[in-house]
């Protein structure tokens, strides 16, 4: 005989199934909404207390370009007064953050650089992970640099940025200002063992594209994602009192010159990938790799001050793949060294190196 309850049980189990399904879906949706609204950080949820499994699964999606474990962190600023040279360290940080006020076109100490601050490119006074920080400065200088073919100490390296990134003149290496900046960098790197480059130091390496970086596409990226702050003409915006920029210039006479690090496409793409538009970080980049390369191509195609770099790279075979000025030790054109595609250049160098 047939069980008379069978149809009811079937309907009941169907209903239960439906209920479970709907609940799970709503949970997922809610979690997604929370996740998007908090920009993917979920601080209170990440601690993992009494979290539904579904939410936990969503929280674990990580969109950063580099895992955050083991990232370098600057020493605790609140403990700086414990240092015997605390005054110098503090003045050094002040100069990095507000360079123009002291050493810019109307600088109150000296007038030797353009209106930019070191911090415009070395974010949070050189402490931001993958924000072009100074994590590896104390531990790796002095070192021989292929660009100059010489051993460079920290003051020499700082002056490279004065003469190129700040399109200015070198600072006297015995000045109070230079001593202070060096003291600050040594303090920042005090916990890094000599010779080591901690994780998150310097600039992110964006993977090479299969094509050349494209200034035409980059112009579109610029209009959509950069122009609101850096302005259509790329000249940025000054503070009302003209002591510094609110939004620094990206090209033109007040910007970095063509001998500067950012003039190399890989440095520029890497810097913006994890830091721009303002608010982006390595944990939450806002540009795709293609956008980063293309906007680099656009900005580095615009006019900017020129530097006599005829004495750079005494050994031309040591020029970086993306150094845009010949002569080169390979057959690739200046154009390809500037915009790419870089993979064939890299492959050709590897063949030479393996011989
Ligand atoms: C326009 C952007 C820009 C400005 C402004 C700038 N720099 Fe730099 N700086 C760079 C870039 C790019 C690098 C190279 C980073 C790399 O290749 O990884 C660099 C490298 C350095 C380094 C070497 C870091 C290392 O780990 O080897 C030091 C030190 C430095 N800068 C100090 C300064 C100081 C001090 C100032 C201000 C006086 C300054 N910079 C201003 C862009 C800038
Ligand atoms: C919301 C405003 C904002 C947007 C949008 C923005 N930036 Fe910036 N950018 C800044 C500020 C502010 C600084 C200086 C940071 C500091 O001093 O702490 C900066 C610094 C820079 C620098 C280094 C300094 C210089 O002038 O050379 C570069 C390069 C840069 N931005 C490129 C870009 C690019 C490319 C985009 C678009 C993909 C972009 N920025 C979008 C605000 C912005």
**Ligand found nearest the CA of 256:** 1
| 43 domain-assigned | yes
> Within its chain, how far is the Cα of 319 from the centroid?
22
* C-alpha of residue 151 to centroid of ligand 2, in Å: 32
Distances (CA, A) of 27 to 34, 52, 58, 223, 260: 11, 9, 10, 38, 51
- CB of 151 within 6 A of ligand 2: the answer is no
pLDDT of res. 54: 64
Do residues 96 and 132 share a domain? yes
- 132 and 30 in a common domain: no
Task: Tell me the pLDDT tens digit for each residue of 246-264.
Answer: 999 999 999 999 999 999 9
Ligand 1 atom index nearest CA of 270: 18
The pLDDT-based confidence of 51 (bands split at 50, 70, 90) is low
Q: Is 265 in the pocket of ligand 2 (CB under 6 A)?
A: no
Assess whether pLDDT exceeds 50 at residue 43.
Answer: no
Residues 335 and 226 in one domain: yes
Ligand 1 atom closest to 185 (CA): 29
Q: Is the CB of 225 under 6 A from ligand 2?
A: yes
CA-nearest of 244, 259, 250 to 221 is: 250
Give the separation between CA 132 and CA 311, rounded to whole angstroms. Answer: 25
Report if residue 226 sits inside a domain.
yes
| 66, 282 contact by CB (below 8 A) | yes
Does residue 17 register a pLDDT over 90? no
- Cα(280) to ligand 2 centroid in Å equals 10
Q: Return phi, psi of residue 59, to 5°.
A: -60, -25
Residues 341 and 307 in one domain: yes
Task: Give per-residue pLDDT as tens, 107-132.
Answer: 999 999 999 999 999 999 999 999 99
Question: Atom of ligand 2 at shortest distance to CA of 248?
Answer: 26
Give a yes or no: residue 137 inside a domain: yes
Concatenating the DSSP letter of every residue in 202-266 gives S---PPPPSS---HHHHHHHHHHHTHHHH-TTS--EE-TTSSSEEE--SSSTTS--TTSGGGSHH
Query: Among all chains, which residue has been given the structure tokens 């006599």?
Result: 308
pLDDT tens sequence across 280-333: 999 999 999 999 999 999 999 999 999 999 999 999 999 999 999 999 999 999
Q: Does 201 reside within a domain?
A: no
Rounded to two decimals, the pTM is 0.86
- Is the minimum distance from the CB of 277 to ligand 2 under 6 angstroms? yes
Report residue 18's pLDDT band, with 50, 70 and 90 as the boundaries.
Answer: confident
Do residue 337 and residue 290 come from a single domain? yes
Residues 30 and 146 placed together within one structural domain of the fold: no
Angle, helices 215-225 vs 289-299, to 10°: value is 100
- Pocket around ligand 1 at a 6 A CB cut-off: 96, 99, 116, 118, 120-122, 132, 134, 136-137, 157-158, 161-162, 165-166, 181, 202-203, 256, 260-262, 267
Q: To which H or E segment does residue 21 belong?
A: helix 6-37
Q: Which ligand is nearest to the CA of 248?
A: 2
Instruction: Determine, yes or no, domain membership for 202.
Output: no
Do 119 and 278 touch, CB atoms closer than 8 A?
A: no
* Same-domain status, 230 and 271: yes
3 state DSSP class of 130: coil
Would 198 be classed as within a structural domain? no
Specify the long-range contacts of residues 219-228, CB closer than 8 Å, at least 24 apart: 219/298, 221/287, 221/291, 221/294, 221/295, 221/298, 222/295, 222/298, 222/299, 225/276, 225/277, 225/286, 225/287, 225/291, 225/295, 226/250, 226/276, 226/277, 226/295
- pLDDT, position 176: 98
Q: For the chain, what is the mean pLDDT?
A: 91
Q: Are residues 243 and 345 in the same domain?
A: yes
How buried is 40 (Cβ within 10 angstroms: 0-12 exposed, 13-18 middle, 19+ buried)? middle
pLDDT of residue 55 exceeding 70, the answer is no
Compute the distance between CA of residue 300 and CA of residue 298 in angstroms, rounded to an integer: 6
Instruction: Quick: pLDDT tens for 148-184.
Output: 999 999 999 999 999 999 999 999 999 999 999 999 9
Centre of ligand 1 to C-alpha 134, Å, is 8
Give the domain range for residue 126. Answer: 77-188
CATH classification at residue 337: 1.10.760.10
Residue of 141, 165, 188, 321 to test ligand 1 pocket, by largest number of atoms within 8 Å of CB = 165
Nearest CA to ligand 2 atom 14: 120
- Total residues belonging to the chain: 355
Whether 196 maps to a domain, the answer reads no
- The more confidently predicted of residues 120 and 47 is 120
pLDDT-derived band at 1, boundaries 50, 70, 90: very low
Per DSSP, what are the bridge partners of residue 144?
Answer: 151
- Least confident residue range of 29-38, 309-318, 336-345: 29-38
pLDDT value of residue 197: 98
**Number of neighbouring beta carbons within 10 Å of residue 104:** 25
Does the structure show a pLDDT above 70 at 47?
no
219 lies in the same domain as 349: yes
128-155 pLDDT tens trace? 999 999 999 999 999 999 999 999 999 9
- Ligand with an atom nearest the CA of residue 322: 1
Query: Number of structural domains, the chain?
Result: 3
Helices 86-97 and 176-188 sit at what angle, rounded to 10 degrees?
Answer: 100
CA distance 188 to 184: 6
Average pLDDT, stretch 18-47? 63
Which residue CA neighbors atom 6 of ligand 1 most closely?
118
- pLDDT greater at residue 45 or residue 229: 229
Q: Is residue 39 part of a domain?
A: yes
Give 276 Cα–ligand 2 centroid separation in angstroms: 6
**pLDDT reported for residue 13:** 76
Q: Are residues 107 and 176 in the same domain?
A: yes
Which atom of ligand 2 approaches the CA of 271 most closely? 29
From 169, 188, 207, give the residue that closes a domain: 188
pLDDT at res. 10: 78
Residue 35 burial (10 A CB sphere; 0-12, 13-18, 19+): middle
């Amino acid at each position: 005989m047939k069980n008379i309850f069978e149809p009811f049980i079937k309907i009941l189990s169907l209903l239960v199934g439906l209920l479970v399904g709907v609940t799970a879906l709503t949970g997922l949706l809610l979690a997604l909404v929370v996740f998007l609204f908090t920009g993917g950080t979920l601080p209170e949820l990440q601690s993992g207390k009494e979290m539904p499994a579904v939410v936990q699964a969503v929280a674990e999606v990580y969109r950063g370009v580099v895992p955050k474990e083991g990232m370098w962190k600057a020493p605790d600023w609140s403990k700086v007064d414990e240092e015997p040279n605390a005054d110098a360290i503090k003045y050094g940080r002040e100069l990095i953050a507000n360079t123009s006020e002291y050493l810019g076109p109307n600088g109150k100490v000296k007038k030797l650089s353009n209106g930019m601050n070191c911090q415009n490119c070395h974010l949070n006074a050189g402490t931001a992970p993958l924000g072009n920080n100074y994590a590896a400065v104390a531990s790796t200088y002095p070192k021989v640099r292929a660009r100059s073919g010489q051993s460079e100490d920290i003051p020499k390296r700082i002056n490279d940025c004065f003469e190129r990134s700040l399109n200015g003149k070198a600072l006297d290496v015995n000045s109070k200002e230079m001593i202070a900046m060096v003291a600050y960098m040594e303090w920042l790197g005090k916990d890094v063992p000599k010779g080591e480059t901690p994780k998150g130091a310097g600039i992110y390496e964006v993977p090479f594209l299969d094509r050349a970086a494209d200034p035409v596409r980059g112009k579109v990226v610029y209009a959509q994602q950069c122009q609101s702050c850096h302005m259509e003409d790329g000249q940025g915006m000054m503070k009302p009192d003209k002591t510094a920029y609110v939004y620094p210039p990206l090209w033109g006479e007040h910007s970095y010159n063509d001998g500067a690090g950012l003039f190399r496409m890989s440095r520029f793409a890497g810097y913006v990938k994890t830091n721009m538009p303002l608010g982006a970080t390595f944990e939450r980049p806002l540009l795709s790799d293609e956008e980063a390369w293309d906007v680099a191509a656009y900005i580095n195609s615009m006019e900017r001050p020129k530097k006599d770099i005829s004495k750079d790279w005494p050994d031309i075979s040591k020029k970086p793949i993306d150094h845009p000025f010949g002569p080169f030790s390979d057959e690739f054109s200046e154009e390809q060294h500037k915009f790419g595609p870089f993979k064939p250049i890299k492959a050709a160098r590897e063949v030479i190196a393996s011989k």
